[in-house]
């Protein structure tokens, strides 16, 4: 079965949300910090497993984009991975006219 863009985005959102929720649980329990030395071994493994799942889901989205979009390498210049994997529509991704749907640019601080 052919994987659709929307299914990839939903998988990314689920993995990203799981990772974020667990990070919030750890922050409530131990305080804010990504590599707190007081995490138990099982907490550290779960955190790493959730991060790996989110990274794999993002990689799957980007792989689909590179394989199907005529503008594939335009999207990851100046756009966050999260935006690409959640907000970019399939119609935008498959558009062949770069002027019709330009990717959003990151805002820069004044003077840069």
12 in a structural domain:
yes
Predicted confidence band of residue 109 (pLDDT cuts 50, 70, 90): low
Give the pLDDT mean for 89-108.
Answer: 67
pLDDT of residue 1: 36
pTM of the model as a whole: 0.79
In a domain, 52, yes or no: yes
pLDDT digits (tens, 9 = 90+) for 40-67: 899 999 999 999 999 999 999 999 988 9
Is residue 94's pLDDT more than 70? yes
Is 49 within 8 Å of 56 (Cβ atoms)? no
DSSP for 35-91 reads T-TTS-HHHHHHHHHHHHHHHHHHHHHHHHHHHH-TTHHHHTSSS-HHHHHHT--HH
Distance, CA of 76 to CA of 18 (rounded, Å): 24
Q: How many domains does the chain have?
A: 1
User: Whole-angstrom Cα distance, residue 27 to residue 30?
Assistant: 5
- For a pLDDT cut of 70, what percent of the chain falls above it? 79
Which domain range does residue 54 map to? Answer: 8-94
């Amino acid at each position: 079965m052919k994987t659709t863009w929307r299914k990839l985005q939903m998988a990314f959102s689920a993995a990203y949300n799981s990772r974020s929720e667990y990070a919030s649980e750890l922050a409530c329990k131990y305080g804010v910090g990504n590599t707190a030395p007081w995490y138990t071994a099982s907490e550290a493994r779960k955190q790493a497993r959730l991060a790996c799942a989110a990274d794999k889901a993002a990689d799957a989205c980007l792989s689909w984009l590179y394989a199907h979009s005529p503008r594939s390498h335009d999207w990851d210049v100046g756009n966050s991975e999260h935006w690409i994997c959640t907000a970019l529509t399939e119609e935008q991704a498959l558009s062949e006219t770069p002027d019709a749907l330009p990717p959003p640019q990151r805002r820069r601080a004044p003077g840069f």
